[in-house]
Structure 1
Amino acid sequence: MHGPEYTRDTASLFKLPAIKKKEDFSSTLTKNHFFIMGHLVTVATCSLNQWALDIVGNQARILDSIRQAKEKRASLRIGPELEITGYGCLDHFLENDLCLHSWESLAEILDNELCNDMLIDIGMPVKHRNVLYNCRVISYNKKIALIRPKLALANDGNYYEMRYFSPWKGERIVEDFYLPRCITKVTGQEKVRIGDALVSTRDTCMGTETCEELFTPRAPNIGAGLDGCEIFSNSSGSHHELRKLDTRIDLIREATLKSGGIYLYANQQGCDGDRLYYDGCAMIIINGQIVAQGSQFSLADVEVVVATVDLEEVRSYRFAKSRAIQATQQPSYERIEVPMSLSSDEEEFNPFLKPSVPREVRFHSPEEEIALGPACFLWDYLRRSKQGGYFIPLSGGIDSCATSMIVFSMCRLVYHDIVEDKNKQVIKELRQIAGESSTSTWVPGSPQEVCGRVFHSAYMGMKTNSSTETRSRAKDLAKEIGSYHCDFDIDTVVTAITTLFTTVTKFVPKYKMHGGSNSSNLALQNIQARTRMVLSYLFAQLLPSVRGRNAKNPENTNPGSLLVLGSANVDESLRGYLTKYDCSSADINPIGGISKTDLKRFILYAADAFSMPLLHSFIDAPPTAELEPISADYVQSDEVDMGMTYNELSVFGNLRKRDHLGPYGMWSKLMHIWGDHLSPSQVYEKVRRFHYFYGINRHKATTLTPSLHCEQYGTDDNRYDMRPFLYPSLDWAWRKIEKAVKDMGDRGTRDPEKTEVDERKKTA
């Protein structure tokens, strides 16, 4: 505890009443209703929908979160990682301008009256001795108390923090930092401490972590907790991934389960300009129990989560003798003293102020995550790109169906926010997207009406190759969700292109079923797919004008194009089962990081949750590209063409990316996974087939449409999955496997299922 040991210098630094004598301190506290032994603390964390490089908008959202926290009587507010600049600035972090603008923005925040009488934790990049650090800046009453740099940087998967930042020098290392003049003008300070230190108030001690530090084996909260730190904050930029939230929550709970403490978790929320969706879910935990949890998916730009916690519960929790012994051996942290109390004098006047009670953790199922995460991402992408809506080539298959249902889920969220939550920001942005004038009072009457204004679809068929079933499914789905739908055939365009080729070369390409070669068969399929891509962009650019967008809003000189949506799932991208620059080449792909298996589950979920039984027809239909002619005894099949099932592709994808296995390691593990129904030689054939097609199609991954990251085995070559695009034959691995199979003798080629039948016959 810290009481009358506070000095006159510290008090004057933070503009508190001067204390001339040591004994005057307690009387000053009594006069101002401060209690040294206060133990109920109201704290606030938040999820902010920040946008990379949007310094003005980011500052407004930070101040709004501080205002909301203050209205809820919180004395401590923490925010997400790098909230002043936005997390996803990427190589812009290498520009000195960004550091300069961060300090300028922080100066305005500190000088704002909203920030008085509250301990505030804000994230921004800071350059110290010409080295850039990812930092938290902790302030109180227009004074900076501490700059705390990040010790452990995220540098794998989607993250490349060490490209821009350096990790801090080490645990408990603290130095002087000389402040820029724009800060000095506001705070009167010339230097502050920077490093791994703690902040002491009159009634407790606070420490900070930043995102990745929570995930490290020796997280900073361990040592800080042993040194008496009672409140931990974690400011994060953690992205959404299917089934990831439970891992994050387990780590946060564990941070306080062993030795107690109060843990505040803040996170970025929304699309900040890149391929990630940050899924919020700000939380407050005490001694392993969650007492407050924010939403994981939301259209709100600012969400503040507040709880009242009891410091005495932490102190009681820490009575274990084993913890006390380790605490006596813990090296001390430097403590920066801030002369304020997080606990309030309201304890004297408000006997009804009570600690927040523990609550059940709220999780979404993976199907709900698909319905909500990509939908929120699409809304952010649409409103921030300032375009007129979305366009999709609707094939009647499950992938374009799933993409369309995600857009419809977005429309449902938008409608709910407008009608139920009265979100003025959402209705304002929807009117702008829909081309309404600035004086419009239009309010949608249903999610379908929202969809009809912002979503456009087209079935582009071939008379010989497209079935009436797929055409009907596409038309019925468009009608059910309310999209503006077009239905036409592209035969004349494809014929014109092939006729031109024949005129020039005197060669007539034919489908394989008509006697053509594999090359001719593939070329005729590809020209259809690429024609659909060209037509998609033509319709996307002109449909707003066709629909009279300018007529509704004469002041709008730009009717706004539509953003083209791709619909290639992660398994097709992994296998390369798509045409390069076909209709999967689009502006954004909401399902490019989702497996076919999960998409099917999502469609089944949506059929019930959205009351759309027609979606079952998409599940029952066999997956087909419909690029070859249909006959009485032949319908093209995706899985036959690929030579493997979608379920097998999911397994290969996880083993390759998540488990980091090459061909031999894959074969060895699959012997255990598939050994009950495949022989070692059959497993080898499947592994070799996968790597053959993966290798020859790697060049396609370099041109994939940017997709929302949702799955651990995502194939995003430009950011997440860095591999060569020109592969040799992997002969060394194949020889090693072939030798192992040969050494097994009959066991290497014996069919397990046939062997089991034979054994049963012998027993009988």
Structure 2
Amino acid sequence: MEETRLMLAAAALNQTPMDWDGNMQNIKDAVEEAKSNKAHLLLLPELCITGYGCEDMFLSPWLSEVAFEKLLQVKEWCDNITVAVGLPLFLDKKVYNTACVIKNKEIIGVTAKQFMANDGVHYEPRWFTPWPADVVQEFEKFGQTYRIGDIIYEEQGVKYAFEICEDAWRPNRPAERHMPKGVELILNPSASHFALSKTDVRHRLVVDASKKYRCAYVYANLLGNEAGRMTYDGEVLIAQNGKLIRRNELLCFKNVDMECAEVCFSKNPTIEDVIEYLPPIDENKEVIDALSLALFDYMRKSRSRGFVLSLSGGADSSLCAVAVAEMVRKGIESLGVVLFAAKTQMFPMKDVAYFESLPPEQAQKELVGRLLTCAYQGTVNSSDDTYNSAKGLADSIGAKFFNWTIDNEVRGYISKIEDVLQRPLTWEQDDLTLQNIQARVRAPGIWMLANINNALLMATSNRSEGSVGYATMDGDTAGGISPIAGIDKAFIRQLLIWMQQELGYEGLQYVNKLQPSAELRPSEDEQTDEKDLMPYEVLNQIERLAFHDRFAPHEVYNMLLEQQVAEPEMLKAWVTKFYTLWSRNQWKRERYAPSFHLDDYNIDPRSWLRFPILSGGFQTELAKINEA
């Protein structure tokens, strides 16, 4: 065949479900940028007109109608360029997840997704119908007839086709059928959520496909926290014949992030611009980058004016505080101080000009001070160490810091119940009650600050504590967002050390010297989380084996016994305690504030892991362990 050179473009977009104006503006900006780069073909992400996270709204026919009307607007922007744009399509009482190809202001075809994601956080078969392979039909919309199905397209003699996200992850993927038909280019519009180290898997998927099928492969993912729980890393990949040509920086704060490359199509194509894929990045960097972008998008898309945090001086609240500081630092680095401040939609122009006039480090602290309000709420059981940790950290990052005690409120509630019961409450008889009231009394004051500031209250629960219900409902679980509920405690502790050493957050030096403690019992008890529960490393191992790897309780016990994690009796006690507390506390997990999906699994029943509120509590299974 003769040589053909195409300028290929792919753009990550930061979309929001049913934000028609915002989504369309991002699409228009991407089309204009692609045209300015003289691109022949532009690939946009999956379902980018509506947003991917519309959930059950996809079942409403009007949503697809509006999306098609928006598609006709996009069509008019596509003069002298081919653009692939994603939208849902409602046909014959079924909804299809589609990519529409517009060429020089004409819709030349619509490809429908063939495989639906139905694992982990995905529930696509609830909304979408898979399209059968090798089927092409026609449909009518607003008086016009269009083709839909497993279509092979052509651009200047180069044949191309689609794999829409999940399509590429299946053994019998569409590319297997397309290559014998002379296809030389595969386009993959995706909504592939962030998870630790997932980018490495995705990179291999794209590059290996380009090698196996001797083709060019273009991939475009969504970007940012789109709908609340899932974050998308905005990855853009262009590869050919097993070589990576373009890859962007992930998890940026832009609305549109585009990569372009001129790709040669011939029998033996010339591949001039090859980039070496770097070794897997540090998961610590990955998770804080994802967390900071997720917080920024959640804040601005919920139209909130910053964050409020009950800063206890412990590991969980310290990570929440530093995540906001890192959100500001990364945002300024990605957008510049002016655009970052403007994008928050919080500041008048005079304030934006003031931030711009400051040295970068001072501007960062000023912005953190405007975006994060912290309060230390001590009791007689609190230590000087945790107060110094909280204040030292808040001062170091520039957060607004308040300090008050809650002893009077605690005594007030205790005295009311003592009067009713006509007996004193004691630690020997009422331990849990006396612990919980301290945590609950902290909620009203911090909620007041959040309401006054019109800000998001951050809850500080982590995944390890969520698994066993080691949290006081309406106390330390109070909040509008629970940003670290998808991360285990062991990871959090080493992450804080990494952030002090690698990112320079010296204010973490205090918390990094402390043993995690709820500080709810009298100080002479020397309460620690691990004394109350078990070593966090063991807890996390049990949790992962039980619910990620899906082993039975006795299998979990035997595996840990083989690893010599502990003596048999101690291990039996820990495994029994874990499953007992897990079963008892599903109702708590049902009530936690929305959390971010950051690891390869989570325990949120509204996204990854459903479990009955009432169950047999694994009693039969645990009996088998204890009889061993």
For the criterion TM > 0.5, the same-fold answer is yes
Give, in angstroms, the shift of residue 151 of structure 1. Answer: 0.3
- Partner residue, 2:341: 427
- The aligned residue for residue 700 of structure 1 is 588
Whether the aligned pair in 2 keeps the contact of 1:370 and 1:406 (CA below 8 Å) is no
Q: Against the structure 1 CA distance between its residues 51 and 663, is the aligned structure 2 distance closer, same or farther, given a 3 Å change threshold?
A: same
The match for 1:460 among 377, 396, 402 is 377
Partner of 2:481: 588
**Could you say what secondary structure the match of 2:355 adopts?**
coil
What residue in structure 1 maps to residue 526 of structure 2? 635
Provide the residue aligned with 1:264 in structure 2: 218
Structure 2 counterparts to residues 471-620 of structure 1, below 5 A: 471-511=387-427, 516-517=428-429, 520-542=430-452, 544=453, 561-620=454-513
Provide the C-alpha distance between the structure 2 equivalents of 1:105 and 1:439, rounded to a whole number of angstroms: 36
Residue 433 of structure 1 aligns to a residue in which SS? coil
The amino acid across from 1:646 in the alignment is Y
Measure how far apart 1:69 and its partner are: 1.1
- Mapping for residues 338-487 of structure 1, pairs under 5 Å: 355-361=272-278, 363-419=280-336, 424=339, 426-430=340-344, 432-434=345-347, 436=348, 441-443=353-355, 445=358, 446-462=363-379, 464-487=380-403
Measured in 1, the distance between the counterparts of 2:381 and 2:351 equals 48
* 1:95 alignment partner AA: S
Residue 200 of structure 1 aligns to a residue whose secondary structure is strand
SS in 2 for 1:144: strand
Which of structures 1 and 2 has the bigger CA Rg?
A: 1
TM-score (norm 1): 0.79
Q: Secondary structure at the residue paired with 2:222? A: strand
Q: Structure 1 CA distance, aligned partners of 2:456 and 2:309? A: 9
Deviations 1:233-268 (A, max 9, x none): 111111111122111112112212223111111011
Structure 1 stretches of 4+ moved >6 Å: none
Between Structure 1 and Structure 2, how many residues are aligned?
A: 623
Specify the alignment match of 2:136 in structure 1.
174
Distance 2:341 2:515 in 1: 40
Where structure 2 has 5 or more consecutive residues not aligned to the other structure, the ranges are: none
1:86 aligns with 2:51: yes
Residue 120 of structure 1 aligns to a residue in which SS? strand
Give the Cα separation in 2 of the matches to 1:611 and 1:369: 17
Q: Secondary structure, in 3 states, of the residue corresponding to 1:486?
A: strand
Q: 1:54 to 1:668 in 2, by over 3 A?
A: same
For the Cα contact (< 8 Å) 2:207–2:239, is it kept in 1? yes
Note if 1:198 corresponds to 2:163: no
Equivalent position SS for 2:333? helix
Residues 330-388 of structure 1 deviation map (CA, whole Å, 9 limit, x = unaligned): xxxxxxxxxxxxxxxxxxxxxxx984333324743111112211101111111122222
Unmatched segments (≥5 aa) in structure 1: 2-36, 182-189, 318-352, 545-560, 742-764
Q: 3-state DSSP class of the match of 2:228?
A: coil
DSSP-derived class of the 2:128 partner = coil
For 1:477 and 1:562, locate their aligned partners in 2 and report how far apart those are by CA, in whole Å: 20
Task: Report the CA distance between 1:685 and its aligned residue.
Answer: 3.4
C-alpha contact 1:375 1:407 (8 A) present in aligned 2: yes
Partner of 2:181: 227
Q: Is the 8 A contact 2:95 2:129 kept in 1?
A: yes
* Offset of residue 609 of structure 1: 2.9
Note the C-alpha offset of 1:293. 0.7
Partners in 1 of 2:264 and 2:568 — Cα distance?
60
The answer to whether the Cα contact below 8 Å between 2:410 and 2:438 also exists between their aligned partners in 1 is yes
2: CA distance, partners of 1:38 / 1:53: 42
Decide whether aligned partners of structure 1 residues 150 and 570 sit closer, same or farther in structure 2, where only a CA change above 3 A counts.
same
Superposed CA deviations along residues 200-247 of structure 1, whole A, max 9, x for unmatched, are 233211010111111112211122123221100111111111122111
Amino acid across the alignment from 2:268: S
For 1:685, what is the secondary structure of its paired residue?
helix
Contact kept in structure 2, 1:134 and 1:150, CA below 8 Å = yes
Match of 1:702, SS? helix
Aligned residues with identical type, % of pairs: 29
Pair 1:652-2:565 in alignment: no
Q: Which residue of 2 aligns with 1:111?
A: 76
| Equivalent position amino acid for 1:527 in 2 | I
Q: How far is 1:681 from its partner?
A: 5.3
Residue aligned with 1:224, SS: helix
- Decide whether aligned partners of structure 1 residues 466 and 52 sit closer, same or farther in structure 2, where only a CA change above 3 A counts: same
In structure 1, distance between residues paired with 2:195 and 2:227: 17
The one-letter amino acid paired with 1:505 is: L
Looking at structure 1, the residues matched to 546 and 413 of structure 2 have their Cα atoms a distance apart, in angstroms, of: 40
1:726 counterpart = 2:614: yes
CA positional deviation for 1:646: 0.9
Amino acid at match of 2:53: G
CA separation of 1:494 and 1:680: change in aligned 2, threshold 3 A: closer
